[in-house]
Amino acid sequence: MKIKLLIFLIILLASGIISFAQNAQQNSEPFPFAQYNDPNLSLITQVPNPVGYDRYSSDRLSLFQHWLSNLPLMPPGTPVLNWKGKKVAKADTLNRVIDMNIDSKYITDADILVLFAMYSFRLQGILDSFNIILNENLVVNYKSWLQGKYIDEKDKDIYLRNEGLSRLDTDEEFQNYVKFVTKYFDTKSLRKNVEHTNSNFAKATNVFIQFRDDDPDSIGHSAVILDIAVAEYQPRKMLIAHGGNPAQSIVIPTTGKETDGNWFTLDELREHFKEFGMGYIYRWKQ
């Protein structure tokens, strides 16, 4: 069902029902960052449901949630690489790696949710209105970027400009915006953009954030919820993804249990990251 909805989304893009700026250079592929982009190597085809559970049906998902649930994967056994391309963890057929090359030192744990959102919202044609708080004094969005409002000068500071020096909405310019946002988006930015939600009713697109007990303002680890599996009278299970700090491949971890595979309950997720303190579920404020 989810695969059918993804095909439907592609048809919408091709027919122009979902509108984009008319630019020949703009890529409307669902996952333009993917190296393999093999439909047989996706979350929905490669990660089975936990025993006794079912994924949410497609008609209950937003387009962003559906996009997350179909993310492409690297082949089984792909090692985890840092942003320089150096192997930092051995190949493992249980942990899976998302088919997205992380080649910037700025794309750490805190950036993963906003990174996914920028790609998905551009695909939907709604990136212009997606506001991102970088710090107390600066809220950015892609529309303003195209109007030429933000520049990064000498790798030091952010400046604003309103000189009519607009940018064209091309794939290259979108990548420039992604680099700009991920460079300045950090754990403090993440805290400003999210709010508490009911941890017992976590949804795809929510983020699990863990804090050290001795420092409530810190963020020890964060993970994006990609999909949810449910069963009657049972706690819901989450399929999660996280990066690293320093920046590394985006990983889908395993519980180590044959019956659960890559699916975690909230308690299991807290145990998995227990060295970082208590964790809670948050949602993006918009």
Can you tell me whether residue 46 is helix, strand or coil? helix
Written as six digits, the tokens of 258 are 């044959």
Q: How many alpha carbons lie under 13 Å from residue 133 in its C-beta half-sphere?
A: 14
Structure tokens at 169: 């909405």
The 8-class DSSP code of residue 30 comes to: S
Residue partners of 133: CB distance under 8 A and separation at least 6: 139, 189, 192, 193
Q: Kindly report the number of other CB atoms within 10 A of residue 213's CB atom.
A: 10
Coil, helix or strand at residue 54: strand
Q: Quote the radius of gyration of the chain (alpha carbons, Å).
A: 19
pLDDT tens, residue by residue, 139-185: 999 999 998 888 766 545 566 665 657 889 999 999 999 999 999 99
Output the pTM of the full model. Answer: 0.85
Residue with the bigger pLDDT between 16 and 154: it is 154
Write the pLDDT tens digit of every residue in 65-92: 999 999 999 999 899 999 999 998 876 7
DSSP 60-120: GS-HHHHHHHT-BBPPTTPPEEBTTS-EEE---SSSEEBS-----TT--GGGHHHHHHHHH
Work out the burial of residue 17: count CB atoms within 10 Å of its CB; fewer than 13 is exposed, 13-18 middle, 19 or more buried. Answer: exposed
* pLDDT band (50, 70, 90) for residue 23: very low
Backbone angles phi, psi at 179, to 5 degrees: -60, -40
Confidence of residue 22 (pLDDT cuts 50, 70, 90): very low
The pLDDT tens digits for 201-244 are 899 999 998 866 566 566 678 899 999 999 999 999 999 999 98
Residue 97 predicted with pLDDT over 90: yes
| pLDDT per position as a tens digit, 100-142 | 999 999 999 899 999 999 999 999 999 999 999 998 888 999 9
Per-residue confidence (pLDDT) for residue 118, from 0 to 100: 96
